[in-house]
Structure 1
Amino acid sequence: MTNLFTVLDALGLLLLCFYTVQMTLAALVPKPRRTATPDPDLRFTFLIPALNEARVIEATVRNLRRVSPQGRVVVIDDASEDATAALVAALAGADPQVWLLRRRLPMARQGKGQALNWASEEVLRRLRAEGCDLRREVLVVIDADGRIGPELLAEARQALGDPAVMGAQARVRIRQSVGGWQWRTLVGRMLEQQQDVEFFITRHLQVLRSHWHTAALCGNGQLMRASYLAEQFARGVSPWPDVLLEDFGSGLEIRLAAPGYRLAFLESAVNQQGLPNLRRFTRQRARWTQGTLQCLPYLGRLWRTPVPLLARLDFSYFLLSPWFNVLIVLTLLTQPLRWATETHGLLLAPAIGLTVSLLNAALQLNWLVRYQLENRLSAGRLLFTALSFPVYGFALFLSLPLAFKNHFTGRRTWDKTARHAEPDAAPPPAPLEVTAASSGD
């Protein structure tokens, strides 16, 4: 038993070292300079997968048409039961740049990836019929609650000015719920806040990955060159694989398709609603983790394909991360058994144990300070953000066993993320002051 605990502790300590190195590099490494000339001839087609999105779809379509007057907006209705299709049909009737593509049961509701593959094939057919140059056509995936500004497209023109860049990912920001909060909504507001902190940290990781061109595609704000999509379909390969993490898988497909293909990260943001509900948040993160588990077979292809070493290591670390997290959780959960059986694992000197604890605290403090510097939080909001970390960590802890349970029992349901109605002209993401207002979410 002691040997088992020793192995667990040693692996946990090694993973902590990897995590520390990764977070330190993410905090310190500057973003790479772009040298490509912006391509003014790029044209954007926005793909919006939509299932029961009547609460938000009109505002999203209008936002995209304002930001990109020359672009197209394609809404993929996935057999909605609400007024989504009717609302988009009305917009399409008044604006030829708005297209409505409708999927019907039983083919519909098979997941976001399948909807995107089906719709992009139809879009490519129409683009070819119009005589478009697919090298200068870019498909942009936007969630039904997504909002962007013109700066995103300007940055995309420069990033995709490099002909080797086949895909790009925008930064993601979380819009906080409007209004005050009650005690019953406190946990939800904490989760919303931490989701923005999480994407803030992800932004730094994406900058780090940009140095070896492996920026992860995250779905909302995902850009892909139409010529690459056409190549994949011609080879009989679906650009978005049939997994619950189809966006990450689509980035892997790009890097594995050809040695010279690259992925880029865009600092300009797409902002979206958060999930202010513990149960829904836990189910979403379980789906993400299960999707990562489904992507594990990519590991073999990754090491058989001529991809740069750092790119291989980066992707491999992500693909194995659910299993690494299990090791860390087992290290924590076996503590009562160790106490009961009076057995020990890896014995560390008190000074080393204290150093490890302080190092972990310092990493969290680093991101809190950096988040504060970017967002200029009030003292109350800063304290609220700090107190939210344990709530977020607890939610992630709950999602891990659920993900493994779903994976090994064969449950592959694509859980729909629910939205809430909000004003058409949603403000950019900014921290919400914590007040004792009486109104709820």
Structure 2
Amino acid sequence: MATERRTPRTHWALLAVTLLVLLGGILLDTLVLQGIDGGARITKDAAANVPASVSSGGPLLGRDEHGLASRRVPDHTIALTFDDGPDPVWTPAVLDVLRRNEVHATFFVTGAAVSRNPSVAKQIVDAGHEIGLHTFTHTDLSQAGPLRTRLELDQTRLVVAGATDRSSRLVRPPYSARPEDLDDADFRAVNGLIDSGYVAALSDLDSKDWMRPGVDAIVKAATPQDNRGAVVLMHDSGGDRAQTVAALEKLIPSLRQRGWHFSTLGGVLPSAAPTYASWGERTQGSAILLTTSAAHALNSIMGWLVIVCTLLALVRAVLLLGCAMVHSRRKKLSRRDDQPYRRPVTVLVPAYNEEAGIEATLRSILASTTPVRVIVIDDGSTDGTADVVRRLRLPDVRLIRQDNAGKAAALNTGLGYCQTELVVMVDGDTVLEPDTVSELVRPFTDPVVGAVSGNAKVGNRSGLLGTWQHIEYVIGFNLDRRMYDVMQCMPTVPGAVGAFRMSALLQVDGIPMDTLAEDTDLTMALERAGWAVTYQESARAWTEVPASLGQLWRQRYRWCYGTLQAMWKHRGAVRERGLGGRLGRRGLPYLLLYQVLLPLLAPAVDVFALVSLFSQPMLGAVAWIGFFALQLVPALVAFWLDRERFRPLWTLVLQPVVYRQLMYLVVIQSVVTACTGARLPWQKLHRTGSAAQDSPLTVSSASGQ
């Protein structure tokens, strides 16, 4: 006998860490690498604390042995500078113009842009140009505190070192101005940079190319009006820079003809020139680049996953609704020709600790309009289940007791006592309506039908958890099963209410006992044996569902794990013909896609969608509304087809918060458990006998008292 391995306890921790890493990666790319910041200030402060030596000095600000100092560009010298790059399109275009004109410039890059385009940053350095720092996220340093400023510059310096092997102490603050335009807040930020060992590079001439005013206007704004040297501010990123590239083609030859020379800022102030980065800087920078590249790739993948998941959800909704309409029309036509089944039917009731509800179950079965013989198999109950059955002394009810061996074994025991061709199997907590059995066996007039699925309804639907399960049952049984019926690939006849042809059961050797989802395993085996399995929505049965999240988790964990076992066991159906082939090529892929793969991805998609509500509120809101509509429309149709009240559907708004996440985690836990080879024990749901509280049978009985 194989040793039973317990489910690893690290699944929850692994999942939590994975989601945290995922959230961190998405936030890193969305909020940092995309360059989200507060923008420049709208208003300016006073300039009372700006020294005259600074406001009337040059654009290069640093510190020497005498204190704060500024440096101007020599006369007849132009220092071209470019901000906001590197850009994969426009930076190479600017570099090409500079190469052809044999001019070197200084590029002030953002850490976010370097993280996205490290190879372009290296092109800048390889072409002989200088590289400076423009913060990581293009934030206004006059509004950033010392810690934010240090992080912005240190991280940018490191990613530059990782991408280019250069270390730069030359900084241009975003939204910077000419020295004479500095206010007190600007000066505090610049002074803080200088105190940290950086050189601040402002500008003399702003080309205003970011406004795209036209090539001639850019050239005019970048041309000095006298012989004084100037630092010219331009941009190689941040939008369409075609006008900038065209303006450079005119500006450089024009200035050269007038006798101007071109220099980098390091050529003007050698102490500001970038140096080779240390091994530590290169290593740290490479690590940051690797992290940011992974975050960017993750965000791109998540974006595509959202698109794919949306399309799949849309396809599923269309498929469910279309098949539901087809199924409804077929049933209306078939009922005209169906003849009621007149011979006795055996009803098997496997029972383990069902003392609370077994009486209601048996009385509802005996009230059937079709003659029934009931066999109760007490599977080693430790409560008074068997005593209740004996005490009732109901006609046509036979009690069989056995040691606890599981539901499948109990059903096989019961099959050994059956003397009818048709067998109905119901759980020990299920309550049938009077015509449930007659409706359930009606399709067996067709000799190819081997099994029929009934319509399980939630009895204890009070409370939010019960309401959510009620919605799930209505949608699952009235849309998914209708679709499976139309596509002839029914994967499961539920244990709560299903009917079988005895000859079909004998052909597949009875109820399988090697999976935890014996109902799914059996249904798949019947189809592979050539028997048709159909769905009878009018055969309603009321069942008790878990009343707590813990019980729900244990039940769904077993269901999901058992379904995975059955899918793997019957994977060979993909290669078969007939009904088995339809199961293999229609039913199994649908189960794999919509009940395994998509739930595995759903938490990540939800995290991405949640972040999008903050980063792109309108797009995120539209996505959430769209997903909700794809859930609500099928629910409305299912409730209409099943003649249910629409009122519970308002809880769909709350469902993603707890219930849907729990179902996703069940699938994740089940898949990981299956991959590790762990075995799950049978987990019995605690019964309270509340299955019939909302059934028409109970309501009518109460009204007659």
Same fold per superposition (TM over 0.5): yes
1:138 correspondence with 2:426: no
Q: Tell me whether 1:427 sits opposite 2:698 in the alignment.
A: no
Gaps of 5+ in 1: 179-188, 432-441
Q: TM-score, normalised by structure 2?
A: 0.50
Residues 262 and 112 from structure 1, CA distance in 2 versus in 1: closer, same or farther, beyond 3 angstroms? same
Deviation, 1:195, is 0.9
Separation in 2, partners of 1:48, 1:282:
24
Match for residue 360 of structure 1 among 616, 627, 633: 627
Structure 2 match to 1:243: 515
Question: 1:22-171 alignment to 2 at 5 Å?
Answer: 22-29=316-323, 30=325, 31=327, 32-33=330-331, 35=334, 37-68=338-369, 70-91=371-392, 93-95=393-395, 97-104=396-403, 108-109=404-405, 111-120=406-415, 122-124=416-418, 127=419, 137-171=421-455
> 415-424 or 217-226, which moves further after superposition?
415-424
SS at match of 1:316: helix
1:175 deviation in Å?
A: 1.3
Shift of 1:198: 0.6
Task: Spell out, residue by residue over 1:274-311, the C-alpha distance to the aligned partner (whole angstroms, 9 max, x if none).
Answer: 22211111121111111122123245311121136654
**Distance (Å, rounded) in 2 between the aligned partners of 1:424 and 1:20:** 35
Distance change >3 Å, CA 389–CA 73, structure 1 → 2: farther
Matches within 5 A, 1:115-264: 115-120=410-415, 122-124=416-418, 127=419, 137-176=421-460, 189-202=463-476, 203-215=478-490, 216-233=492-509, 238-258=510-530, 261-264=531-534
CA distance in 1, matches of 2:390, 2:355: 12
Q: 1:12 to 1:118 in 2, by over 3 A?
A: farther
| Cα offsets for 1:6-32 (capped at 9, x unmatched) | 556545543442332122221243112
Greater displacement, 224-233 / 74-83: 224-233
* 1:329 corresponds to 2:603: yes
Q: Could you tell me which residue of structure 2 aligns to residue 413 of structure 1?
A: 681
Q: Give the TM-score normalised by structure 1.
A: 0.77
Deviations 1:203-245 (A, max 9, x none): 1121122112223312111111111112222xxxx43352111
Alignment root-mean-square deviation, CA: 3.3
Query: CA 1:429–1:282 in 2, change beyond 3 Å: closer, same or farther?
Result: farther
In the alignment, residue 566 of structure 2 is paired with which amino acid? C
Residue 338 of structure 2 aligns with an amino acid whose one-letter code is T
Per the TM alignment, residue 355 of structure 1 is displaced from its structure 2 partner at its CA by: 5.8
1:162-200 per-residue CA deviation (whole Å, 9 max, x = no partner) reads 11110011111111367xxxxxxxxxx111011111111
Q: 2:535 aligns with which of 250, 262, 265?
A: 265
After superposition, the C-alpha distances for 1:238-259 in whole angstroms (9 at most, x for unaligned) are 433521111111111111012x
1-structure distance, mates of 2:660, 2:322: 24
The DSSP-based 3-state class of the residue aligned with 2:458 is: strand
1:300 to 563, 567, 571: 571
Q: Which moved more, 1:164-173 or 1:316-325?
A: 316-325
Q: Which has the higher contact order (CA 8 A, sep 6+)?
A: 1
Q: State how far apart, in whole Å, the 1-side matches of 2:451 and 2:394 are.
A: 31
Counterpart residue type for residue 421 of structure 1: G
Distance 2:698 2:487 in 1: 31
Kept after mapping to 2: 8 A contact 1:160/1:166: yes
Structure 1 vs Structure 2: percent identity of aligned residues?
A: 24
- How far is 1:412 from its partner? 1.6
Q: Quick check: 397-406 or 164-173, which moved more?
A: 397-406
Where does residue 376 of structure 1 map in the other structure? 645
Say whether 1:17 aligns with 2:306.
no
Alpha-carbon displacement from aligned partner over 1:329-372 (angstroms, at most 9, x marks no partner): 34556899xx9xxxx9xxxx999876644431211221454466
Residue deviations 1:397-440 (CA, integer Å, cap 9, x gap): 34234324543351321110111134988633999xxxxxxxxx
CA distance change for structure 1 residues 177 and 353 in 2, over 3 Å: closer, same or farther?
Answer: closer
AA aligned opposite 2:384:
A
Matched, 1:317 2:584: no
Change (3 A) 1:271 1:409: same
Is the contact made by 1:239 and 1:253 (CA closer than 8 Å) also made in structure 2? no
- Number of residue pairs matched? 387
Stretch deviating more after TM superposition (59-68 or 367-376): 367-376
1:75-127 residue CA offsets vs partner (Å, 9 max, x unmatched): 11110011111222334x552x21112121xxx24x3223222322x124xx2
Contact 2:423/2:499, CA 8 A, preserved across alignment: yes
Higher gyration radius (CA): 2
Q: Deviations over 1:253-273 (max 9, x none)?
A: 111012xx2111011211112
Matching residue of 1:181: none
Q: Report the secondary structure of 2:440's partner residue.
A: helix
Give unmatched runs, 5+ long, in structure 2. Answer: 1-293, 700-705
Give the counterpart letter for 1:99 in structure 2: R
Give the residue type in structure 2 aligned to 1:271.
Answer: W
Q: 1:57 corresponds to which letter in structure 2? A: I
Q: Which amino acid aligns with 1:210?
A: D
**1:5 and 1:331 in contact (8 A); partners too:** no
Aligned partner of residue 481 in structure 2, secondary structure:
helix
SS at match of 1:100: strand
**Structure-1 separation of matches of 2:652 and 2:311:** 26
Query: Is the 1:245–1:292 Cα contact (8 Å) retained in structure 2?
Result: yes
Q: Provide the secondary structure at the position in 1 that maps to 2:423.
A: strand
